[in-house]
């Protein structure tokens, strides 16, 4: 066990190093001078030189990376070039919106996909199954911005004079006003969920169909156990491993930035933060965000692996 | 009274509250309403929510573009008020300052402040406060975008609490106009700035009608009434929402999520016109959207190439295609009602002449091919021009969208052929026009240099008489349409789109900064 | 597979991966499944033929675009206003876009761009992924560990960020975008290749080749790769479908090929402000995307049934 943990840790550290160095290198290569993001269009050459000196922008990439690493070692994630605030502050401010968006998306998607997956596994080739196949293929083929557009059009614009309608854009903190917060996040969550649900449902359906053919299901049925019990008690759990895996992985990825949705709905999240920082060459913030996202991904990955190994004895045994 | 900040449904709620408290309807004097003379009496209280496309990095007085709408100018005006601003017509309006006069050939200026004004932390707005602000901006350690302007001051002397004597390095008859358009007009409390350091940008203290209440970064800013403000304001609260997407911003205005949308987008303005409850308060400026050329590299170091481009461009066709004819085109540099208006004319489209010139270049073995890297603002225009040029032979244009930072870097490093820009745009031509056309001007990225132009600008700076300045600017224009360092085709208009069933008293100062102290919600 | 930037374009769990027979010790193939729309028994044939038909039409237009009597995609049509609605008369069957250019022409050239980028990045991702994955699966040990680090690194970078950075560094042209998209796809191809290699390595013909003293590269190339390729071919179509959506999203964010090159995503973005008054500006390119993506998905699903019958079992 300890050897496994050590290997895992080494793996994680290496991944984080590779990611942070690659991004630092890449973003440094992008054209554009962060000094102009700070100083504006009419900066003089002396001002630009001064900023370069202050921020060590003329040093080589490896040396700047090394400096950043040692800062990280002390727990200092750097200071934004543009806003001059600690990067950690910018991230912790942007995180709640994205976290809430992503969590609610995954939860809603699971809540809708599981019943659909179970039912279509139970009754494959039924009318509902065929209908669902059409509908889900439509959602999967639509880019997220189109989905968002249509949602805004229907629910915010067409229905604007109805008592129940949604705001087009905006954000209110959860702590300030939970009710408002949920209003604002409804359309974005729906837009994102419409892409997750087909994936989840499809995966669950496939697994459940396989499970439903197993002998112990047959045994339970012959014992007279109710259909509902069979589906949800006996069949669902063993079929849900990959679903859980997928949900976890998608969660990790969505944290990386649901950029389009955040921009369209004006949500102050990690996605907008990332894009704006790359465009203004605020390398400090980019490095911080990339590290955060990488850590989240790696942690989620590890958790999923561990849980999977714990849940499914077959994997534990097959130590390939 | 007054809705909560940023509350979805605030407009409905406020409407109900206002109804409940129906005030007397009276003709209200002096309210500069854009609509009619018998406006209802302004209600005291209420919240106005306005949206803008991008959030400033900080609210330091010297960040951003100065006293302009973009990058936080409107918010700064609410927080700091101003020493002086230009009205939308170009007159200097003294606010915290009482006057700025010069007795000694425009080099030594006396800035007199009004008595009794205080910052929201109680400290007085006095001459030493102004001196502190301007010295700090000039200090290289501050990394202020406005440093070059402040560094034009040689020395300052506090004569008495309300009088500051300023000595400039070079005479400038338009010193008040300069101050009124730059961020030197925003004065922050020295005590608070000193104490907070860089963090002052997130918790500014000024002498304006509103104070900083809360900033949810990336989302919204809340300002509330400053009890120490010496002057009348109606609104209790201002909420600013930052919504990057144009279409969504208009949608939010339509559905009542915000009350005002400050935008330059013509499509939004046109759509807003079709909605009965929305009104459009417009502020136009001289100068505006132009194409400028790089004189340091081919092909546009050659006058004929510049001419060809100017002949090939057709402002009216562009306007029809992109905006349905809604833009304010710029046949001349200055607006018609500007005191400097002259009918000297900008280049007119001429397909034949353009094609002839393109053919000439091809015949010489150097057909005109160029790439334009443009930020998102002008991408549509660039794309239109690219489509237009495809109907000409022997010319090829590529368009590449880049970030604003990269665009600025390209301009500053001379790494461009031609570019689209909305600078210079101005109410008063000083200093924006000379910045663009004078040798070494801070926005003269193409490195255009003509001693006659320089001399004309120098002359304009020596007198504040309209006639003398107009002579100088006329000379500049005549040379500009000959040399073509740039040519203008569309005036920039700031549209304050607002919900007229909720708001009244909508007026603007400068290039479109809303007059917060005159705005109010409608009673009854 | 997630088909937008709201989750990176990185992975597919093909259902057959999940029966435990071919699981790697590191995380399972990441990320979601492109719901391969599996039309059901009677309808499957129809769906397949429809899909092939649509792809055939698209390919025809893409290949013969230059020969067709359509205007240039960057030319403003004289005599027609911008945003003209589709109408049944020539010349402009599908109307004009916001600048007055021919929608039909831009759709066709946009298809060329989508398909070129799609096929190229899929091929590149598959090539790279196959190589890395099968090497990792065959040799195990430190190579496997290093590959695992590399793949995880790619996966943990937000996809959009990577593309943004690559687009900014390289020029905004097709090769750069192809490389960027391919990089995003490599991890899943690699994982699939690795998993399949692992499951095949114990097969008899491989053991036999080893026993006869065949060199490594011969074993990999001759014995393993053909099977691996067949298995992941179906995923290639899912990936292709997803890339088309990703490319549209890229253009929507103005990160794609610069104008005036048309792209379906850019056309949607251009038409967006007019959604209420001229909805066809958005819906025509959107429909193209939907049909094309659905078609590739159906084809991929058919391939999966065909070549993965062994591990497919009774699923659906």
Query: What is the residue whose two structure tokens read 């996605």?
Result: A271
Mean pLDDT of chain C: 75
Q: Is A185 on the interface with C (CB under 8 A)?
A: no
DSSP B414-433: T--SEEEE--SEESS-TTHH
Helix (H) or strand (E) run with residue B514 in it: strand B513-514
How much of chain B exceeds pLDDT 70, in percent?
92
Structure tokens that stand for A83 in this block: 């806003």
Structure tokens that stand for A80 in this block: 């934004």
SS3 A163: coil
Does the pLDDT of residue C20 top 80, yes or no? no
Domain with CATH 3.40.190.10 in chain B: 3-283+493-521
Could you count the other beta carbons within 10 Å of the beta carbon of residue B365? Answer: 6
Mean pLDDT of chain B: 86
Under the banding of pLDDT at 50, 70 and 90, the label for residue B33 is very low
ipTM, two decimals, is 0.80
> Do residue B383 and residue C273 have CB atoms under 8 angstroms apart?
no
How far is it, in rounded angstroms, from Cα B384 to Cα B395?
15
Q: A202 phi and psi, to 5 degrees?
A: -60, -45
Instruction: Write down the CATH superfamily of domain B3-283+493-521.
Output: Periplasmic binding protein-like II (3.40.190.10)
Under the banding of pLDDT at 50, 70 and 90, the label for residue C184 is confident
How far is it, in rounded angstroms, from Cα C270 to Cα B383?
12
Could you count the other beta carbons within 10 Å of the beta carbon of residue C224? Answer: 22
Q: Which residues contact B114 (CB under 8 A, 6 or more apart)?
A: B96, B97, B98, B162
Please write the tens of the pLDDT for every residue from A263-293. 888 888 888 888 888 878 888 888 888 888 8
DSSP B352-379: HHHHHHHHHHHHTT--EEEEEEE-GGGH
Specify the pLDDT at position C21. 25
Could you count the other beta carbons within 10 Å of the beta carbon of residue A7? Answer: 12
C-alpha dist (Å) from residue A290 to A19, A206, B160, C155, C229: 8, 35, 54, 12, 34
- Region of poorest pLDDT, from A130-139, B44-53, B374-383, B412-421: A130-139
Q: Which residues contact B455 (CB under 8 A, 6 or more apart)?
A: none
**Mutation site, A40, A52, A272, interface B, largest B CB count within 10 A:** A40
Does the pLDDT of residue B340 top 90, yes or no? yes
Burial per residue of A273-311, b for 16 or more beta-carbon CB atoms within 10 angstroms, e otherwise: bbbbbbbbbbbbbbbbbbbbbbebbbebbbebbeebbee
Tell me whether strands B47-52 and B486-490 are parallel, antiparallel or unpaired. unpaired
Residues in a beta bridge with B148: none
Domain with CATH 3.10.105.10 in chain B: 286-490
**Mutation site, A137, A152, A235, interface C, largest C CB count within 10 A:** A137
| Helix runs in B225-328, H state only | 246-254, 266-273, 303-312, 315-323
Does the pLDDT of residue B26 top 50, yes or no? no
How far is it, in rounded angstroms, from Cα B106 to Cα B458?
13
Structure tokens that stand for C72 in this block: 């240039």
Structure tokens that stand for C253 in this block: 């964010």
C-alpha distance from B436 to closest chain A C-alpha (Å): 10
C-alpha distance from A117 to closest chain C C-alpha (Å): 11
Quote the DSSP letter at residue B406: H
Does the pLDDT of residue B225 top 90, yes or no? yes
How far is it, in rounded angstroms, from Cα A271 to Cα A263?
8
**Mutation site, A28, A29, A31, interface B, largest B CB count within 10 A:** A31
Count of pairs with CB atoms under 8 A, one residue in B, one in C: 53
Q: Is A36 on the interface with B (CB under 8 A)?
A: yes
How far is it, in rounded angstroms, from Cα B190 to Cα B195?
8
Facing residue for B267 by CB, picked from C99, C259, C273 = C273
State how far Cα C175 lies from the chain centre: 15
Q: What is the pTM of this model?
A: 0.82
Helix (H) or strand (E) run with residue C187 in it: helix C174-200
Q: Is B65 on the interface with A (CB under 8 A)?
A: yes
C-alpha distance from A161 to closest chain C C-alpha (Å): 16
Facing residue for A93 by CB, picked from B143, B201, B217 = B217
Residues of A in contact with B220 (CB under 8 A): 170-171
Specify the pLDDT at position B20. 35
Q: Is B168 on the interface with C (CB under 8 A)?
A: no
Average pLDDT over residues B221-240: 91
Specify the pLDDT at position B66. 79
C-alpha distance from A299 to closest chain C C-alpha (Å): 10
CATH entry, B286-490, from 3.30.930.10, 3.90.1150.10, 3.20.20.140, 3.10.105.10 = 3.10.105.10
Q: Is A198 on the interface with C (CB under 8 A)?
A: yes
Q: Which residues contact C97 (CB under 8 A, 6 or more apart)?
A: C82, C83, C103, C106, C267, C270, C271, C281
Facing residue for C100 by CB, picked from B321, B376, B379 = B321
Specify the pLDDT at position A289. 85
Specify the pLDDT at position A300. 81
Residues of A in contact with B409 (CB under 8 A): 31-33, 36
């Amino acid at each position: 066990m300890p050897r496994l943990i050590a290997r895992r840790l080494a793996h994680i550290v290496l991944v984080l190093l590779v990611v942070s160095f690659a991004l630092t290198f890449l973003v440094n290569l992008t054209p554009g001078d962060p000094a102009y993001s700070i100083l504006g269009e009419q900066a003089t050459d002396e001002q630009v030189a001064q900023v370069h000196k202050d921020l060590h922008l003329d040093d080589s990439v490896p040396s700047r990376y090394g400096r950043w690493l040692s800062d990280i070692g002390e727990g200092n994630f750097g200071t934004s070039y543009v806003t001059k605030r600690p990067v950690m502050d910018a991230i912790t401010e942007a995180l709640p919106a994205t976290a809430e968006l992503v969590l609610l998306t995954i939860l809603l998607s699971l809540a809708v996909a599981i019943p659909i997956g179970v039912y279509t596994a139970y009754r494959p080739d039924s009318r509902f199954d065929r209908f669902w196949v059409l509908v889900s293929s439509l959602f999967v083929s639509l880019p997220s911005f189109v989905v968002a557009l249509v949602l805004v059009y229907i629910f915010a614009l067409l229905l604007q004079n109805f008592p129940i309608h949604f705001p087009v854009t905006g954000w209110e903190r959860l702590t300030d006003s939970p009710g408002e917060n949920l209003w604002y996040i409804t359309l974005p969550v729906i837009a994102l969920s419409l892409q997750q649900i087909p994936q989840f449902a499809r995966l669950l359906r496939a697994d459940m169909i396989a499970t439903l053919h197993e002998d112990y299901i047959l045994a339970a049925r012959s014992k007279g156990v109710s259909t509902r019990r069979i589906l949800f008690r006996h069949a669902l759990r063993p079929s849900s491993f990959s679903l859980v895996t997928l949900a976890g992985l998608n969660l990790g990825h969505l944290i990386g930035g649901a950029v389009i949705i955040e921009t369209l709905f004006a949500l102050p999240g990690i996605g907008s933060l990332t894009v704006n920082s790359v465009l203004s060459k605020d390398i400090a913030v980019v490095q911080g965000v990339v590290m955060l996202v990488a850590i989240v991904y790696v942690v989620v990955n590890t958790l999923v692996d561990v849980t999977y190994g714990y849940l499914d004895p077959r994997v534990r045994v097959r130590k390939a | 009274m007054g809705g909560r900040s940023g509350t979805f449904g605030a407009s409905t709620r406020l409407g109900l509250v206002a109804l409940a408290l129906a005030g007397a309807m009276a003709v209200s004097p002096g309210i500069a309403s854009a609509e009619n003379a018998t406006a209802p009496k302004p209600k005291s209280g209420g919240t106005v929510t306005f949206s803008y496309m991008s959030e400033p990095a900080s609210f330091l007085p010297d960040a951003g573009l100065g006293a302009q709408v973009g990058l936080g100018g409107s918010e700064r005006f609410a927080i700091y008020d101003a020493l002086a601003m230009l009205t939308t017509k170009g007159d200097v309006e003294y606010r915290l300052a009482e006057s700025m006069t010069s007795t000694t050939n425009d080099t030594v200026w006396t800035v007199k402040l009004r008595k009794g004004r205080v910052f929201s932390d109680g400290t007085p707005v006095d001459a030493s406060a102004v001196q502190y602000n301007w010295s700090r901006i000039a200090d290289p350690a501050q990394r202020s975008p406005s440093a070059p302007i402040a560094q034009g001051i040689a020395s300052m002397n506090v004569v008495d609490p309300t009088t500051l004597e300023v000595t400039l390095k070079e005479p400038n008859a338009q010193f008040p106009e300069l101050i009124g358009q730059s961020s030197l007009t925003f004065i922050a409390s020295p005590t608070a700035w000193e104490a907070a350091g860089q963090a002052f940008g997130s918790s500014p203290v000024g002498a304006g009608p509103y104070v900083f209440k809360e900033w949810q970064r990336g989302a919204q800013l809340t300002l509330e009434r400053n009890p120490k403000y010496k002057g009348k304001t109606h609104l209790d609260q201002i909420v600013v929402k930052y919504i990057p997407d144009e279409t969504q911003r208009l949608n939010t205005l339509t559905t009542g999520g915000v009350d005002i949308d400050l935008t330059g987008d013509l499509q939004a303005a046109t759509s807003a016109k079709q909605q009965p409850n929305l009104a459009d308060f417009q502020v136009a400026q001289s100068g505006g959207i132009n194409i400028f050329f790089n004189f340091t590299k081919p092909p546009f170091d050659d006058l004929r190439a510049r001419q060809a481009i100017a002949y090939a461009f057709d402002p009216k066709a562009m306007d029809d295609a992109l905006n349905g004819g809604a833009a304010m085109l710029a046949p001349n540099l200055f607006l018609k009602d500007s005191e400097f208006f002259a009918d000297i004319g900008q280049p007119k489209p001429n397909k034949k002449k353009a094609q002839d010139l393109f053919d000439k270049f091809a015949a010489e073995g150097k057909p005109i091919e160029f790439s334009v890297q443009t930020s998102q603002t002008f991408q549509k225009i660039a794309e239109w021009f690219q489509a237009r040029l495809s109907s000409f032979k022997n010319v090829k244009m590529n368009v590449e969208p880049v970030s604003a930072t990269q665009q600025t870097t390209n301009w500053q490093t001379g790494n461009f052929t031609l570019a689209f820009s909305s600078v210079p745009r101005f109410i008063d031509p000083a200093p924006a026009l000379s910045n663009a056309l004078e040798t070494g001007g801070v926005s003269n990225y193409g490195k255009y240099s003509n001693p006659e132009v320089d001399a004309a600008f120098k002359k304009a700076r020596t007198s504040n008489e309209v006639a003398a300045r107009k002579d100088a600017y006329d000379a500049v224009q005549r040379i500009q349409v000959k040399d073509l360092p740039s040519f203008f085709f569309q005036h920039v208009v700031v549209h304050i789109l607002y919900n007229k069933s909720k708001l009244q008293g909508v007026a603007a100062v400068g290039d479109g900064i809303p007059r917060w102290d005159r705005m109010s919600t409608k009673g009854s | 597979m997630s088909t937008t930037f709201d989750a990176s374009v990185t992975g597919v769990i093909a259902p057959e991966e999940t029966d435990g027979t071919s699981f790697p010790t590191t995380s399972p193939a990441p990320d979601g499944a492109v719901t391969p729309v599996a039309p059901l028994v009677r309808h499957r044939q129809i769906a397949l033929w429809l899909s092939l038909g649509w792809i055939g039409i698209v390919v025809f237009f893409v290949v013969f675009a230059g020969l067709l009597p359509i205007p240039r995609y960057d030319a403003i049509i004289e005599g027609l206003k911008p945003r003209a609605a589709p109408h049944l008369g020539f010349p402009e069957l599908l109307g004009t876009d916001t600048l007055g250019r021919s929608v039909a022409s831009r759709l066709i050239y946009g298809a060329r761009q989508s398909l070129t980028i799609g096929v190229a990045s899929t091929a590149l991702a598959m090539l790279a992924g196959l190589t890395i994955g099968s090497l990792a699966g065959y040799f195990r040990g430190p190579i496997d560990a290093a590959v695992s680090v590399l793949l995880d690194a790619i996966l943990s970078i937000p996809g959009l960020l990577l593309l943004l950075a690559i687009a900014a560094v390289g020029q905004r042209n097709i090769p750069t975008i192809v490389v960027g998209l391919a990089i995003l796809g490599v991890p899943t191809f690699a994982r699939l290749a690795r998993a399949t290699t692992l499951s095949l390595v114990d097969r008899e013909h491989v053991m036999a080749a080893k026993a006869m003293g065949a060199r490594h590269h011969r074993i990999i190339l001759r014995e393993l790769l053909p099977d691996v390729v067949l298995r992941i071919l179906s995923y290639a179509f899912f990936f292709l479908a997803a890339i088309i959506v990703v490319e549209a999203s890229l253009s929507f964010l103005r990160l794609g090929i610069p104008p005036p090159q048309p792209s379906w995503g850019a056309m949607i973005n251009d038409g967006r402000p007019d959604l209420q008054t001229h909805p066809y500006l958005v819906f025509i390119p959107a429909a193209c995307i939907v049909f094309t993506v659905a078609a590739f998905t159906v084809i991929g699903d058919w391939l999966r049934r065909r070549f993965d019958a062994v591990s497919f079992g009774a699923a659906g």
